[in-house]
Structure 1
Amino acid sequence: MSIAFLFPGQGSQRPGMLHELPAHPNVALTLDEASQLLGRNVLELDEEKILESTVSTQVAIYVAGVAMARALAAEGALPSAVAGLSVGAYAAATACGALAFRDGLRLVHLRASLMEQQFTTGYGLAAIVGLDEEQVSALVAKATTEEFPVYVGNLNAPRQIVVAGALPGVDRVVELALATGCKKAERLAVKVPSHCPLLQNVADVLVDKLKTLEPGTVRAQYMTNRRARPTRVLDRIREDFATNIAHPVRWHDSTQVLVELGTTLFVEMNPGTVLSKLTAEAFPQVTSIAMASTPLDNAARQIRDAMEVLD
């Protein structure tokens, strides 16, 4: 295994992100296909006001990731493995052949709509930087109540952890974390408590929709969100992206396993830059690039060179 494509999740969005995609035939085709399926111009979704919607944000992130992966594929630049953070898992599944674009767009739209409908106010996320999983788990256990539950969500790095839940519980964890002298603890601009049991009903709906998906042929290893394990088994991939919304995402563990399996190049798809920064910091011996800040031709050449070494 040599080249891993990384697909960012919610939080990576920014105004103009779809317009920033490179001028490439496969990007144009993807945007046109998305517009036809959505019944509206997908380029409208990256306007600042519209990105306040969870639905618009997640759909735009999915489309951007798939469009960039398709452009790279057309240039002969292919991954050995894919990994997607949260909603990024859907783009990762599409890139490896486990999920048709039409089905992925439909599922991401449904996922985001259910999240938005269920949590209109009073819930969210916070990032804790400088404490490890054991320390944050202890703070969560101290802060959570039946009325205001809070949970450990994303484990982005050994000392960069996201908590999710009712805002009073989330704020209590932030307060406790700051009192310990952690590097940083603050709420994130997300209105939904992603990756915790509060979203189990959303996961159940998505799992039920899996039986309606088109057949797929898996062409690369897919790293699971929940267990941080590689798989080429179609049903396991689909079960992972459908259910990850109700479970912690073990992101750092996923990238650690990829390095242990021989990854020498991490390539983060649009619109993100954070995932490649995390891998660069955690694994300085491995090259990490972000397509959002790298010319397509340069990146494609670098990936093809890595593929030749792999062969």
Structure 2
Amino acid sequence: MKNKIAFVFPGQGAQYVGMGRELYDNYHEVKELFEKADEILGRNITSICFEGPEDELKKTENTQPAILLVSVAAMMVLEKHGIYPDMVAGLSLGEYAALVAANSISFEDALPLVMKRGQFMQQAVPLGQGMMAAVLGLEREKVEECCRLASDAGVVEPANYNCPGQIVISGHVAAVEKACAIAKEMGAKRTVPLAVSAPFHCSLLKPAGEALEKELDKIHIKDPEIPVVSNVEALPVRDAAHIRKLLVQQVSSPVRWEDSIRYMIKQGIEVFVEVGPGKVLTGFLKKISSEVKVKGYNVEDLKSLESTLKELGGTM
């Protein structure tokens, strides 16, 4: 009996200059996908992925389509080799790649949509007014309490429940800094400010969600063909109307990644493949699944593809 496989897709922050290059050079389908992406966006996203410069790739409106493009390219290669998912999920932006994987949103619609999503998220809060920070080594209830205690200094809320001992908070600069100071007093190992351009996944981003809703109304969304575990509910979303609603909420709601992975493990998923740039989600998986036997792999270049196919019995 074959193992049940989940594909998980990375979010913003996983990007690096050169990502996707080896797959592009070795698979004509990937080359065609990149050429199509340049055409759809009316900008040379291929060159931004491969050559940068890093500052250009880090712009949210470039980062989001670039990561989506590389993630879908890696998925196409896996499927070409006979590896298909039973379930999918994606961290924040990665949820769009998951919806493409489930044939719920077309790649042609998802790509310009995430570019606009990036622009809306960037515009929602003026530069320098918001920030995000990772709180390490503190239980979730205590992190929530830190945010409550610091809320007199502005908006500060949990943004990402990544894995045990790593929760990201988001909001106004003064409030996030105050929450970090309280977290240290409560016993956090450390707090790490994140190099992001806006305070994602908190209520300050509601205007971005409203702008995104208008764009979502213009595209065709189908019921997913395989379960897509949503960030907002950490449960499968089964119909197109609910997907629209959750994608709007997702921009300003916390990403329940740890809960999503635990749900998938309970459903019998034994193998998680991180599809796209980086290995951040594979690192989270190790911390989430320390008591159960699941395997994590990643596919972003030829070496990682080869070792994953070898383990999963795909055809090379």
Question: Would the TM-score normalized by the shorter structure come out above 0.5?
Answer: yes
Cα distance in 1 between the residues matched to 2:237 and 2:121: 27
Cα distance in 2 between the residues matched to 1:149 and 1:286: 37
Q: Normalising by structure 1, what TM-score?
A: 0.92
Change (3 A) 1:49 1:167: same
Contact 2:89/2:229 (8 A) holds in 1: yes
Aligned-pair RMSD on alpha carbons?
1.9
Map 1:1-311 to 2 at 5 A.
2-21=4-23, 23-46=26-49, 47=52, 48-119=54-125, 120-145=127-152, 148-216=154-222, 218-284=224-290, 285-292=293-300, 294-303=303-312
Cα distance in 1 between the residues matched to 2:182 and 2:110: 39
Q: Deviations over 1:95-120 (max 9, x none)?
A: 11111111101110111011222332
Deviation, structure 1 residue 6: 0.6
Contact 1:45/1:57 (8 A) holds in 2: no
Contact 2:164/2:287 (8 A) holds in 1: no
Q: Deviations over 1:177-215 (max 9, x none)?
A: 222331221100012111111111211222232232135
Contact 1:152/1:161 (8 A) holds in 2: yes
Cα distance in 2 between the residues matched to 1:246 and 1:7: 19
Seq. identity, %: 33
Q: Out of 71-80 and 251-260, give the one that drifted further.
A: 71-80
Give the SS at the match of 1:268.
strand
Deviation, structure 1 residue 21: 3.8
Give the SS at the match of 2:168.
strand
Q: Deviations over 1:64-111 (max 9, x none)?
A: 111111121222211001100111111111111111111101110111
Q: Which residue identity lines up with residue 28 of structure 1 in the other structure?
A: K
Cα distance in 1 between the residues matched to 2:177 and 2:65: 29
Deviation, structure 1 residue 274: 0.9
Give the SS at the match of 1:126.
strand
Contact 2:273/2:299 (8 A) holds in 1: yes
Q: Which residue identity lines up with residue 243 of structure 2 in the other structure?
A: I
Q: Out of 213-222 and 188-197, give the one that drifted further.
A: 213-222
Q: Which residue identity lines up with residue 130 of structure 1 in the other structure?
A: G
What is the aligned length? 304
Q: Deviations over 1:19-58 (max 9, x none)?
A: 2546222221211111111112212323112123111111
Give the SS at the match of 2:83.
coil
Deviation, structure 1 residue 174: 1.4
Q: Which residue identity lines up with residue 196 of structure 1 in the other structure?
A: C
Cα distance in 2 between the residues matched to 1:161 and 1:6: 19
Contact 2:120/2:211 (8 A) holds in 1: no
Q: Which residue identity lines up with residue 299 of structure 2 in the other structure?
A: M
Cα distance in 2 between the residues matched to 1:80 and 1:200: 32
Give the SS at the match of 2:89.
strand
Gaps of 5+ in 1: 306-311
Deviation, structure 1 residue 264: 0.7
Contact 2:121/2:208 (8 A) holds in 1: yes
Deviation, structure 1 residue 238: 3.3
Q: Which residue identity lines up with residue 13 of structure 1 in the other structure?
A: Q
Q: Deviations over 1:217-273 (max 9, x none)?
A: 522110010110023323323332332011011100000000000001000011120
Give the SS at the match of 2:120.
helix
Contact 1:155/1:162 (8 A) holds in 2: yes
Deviation, structure 1 residue 304: 5.0
Q: Which residue identity lines up with residue 299 of structure 1 in the other structure?
A: T
Cα distance in 1 between the residues matched to 2:300 and 2:71: 10
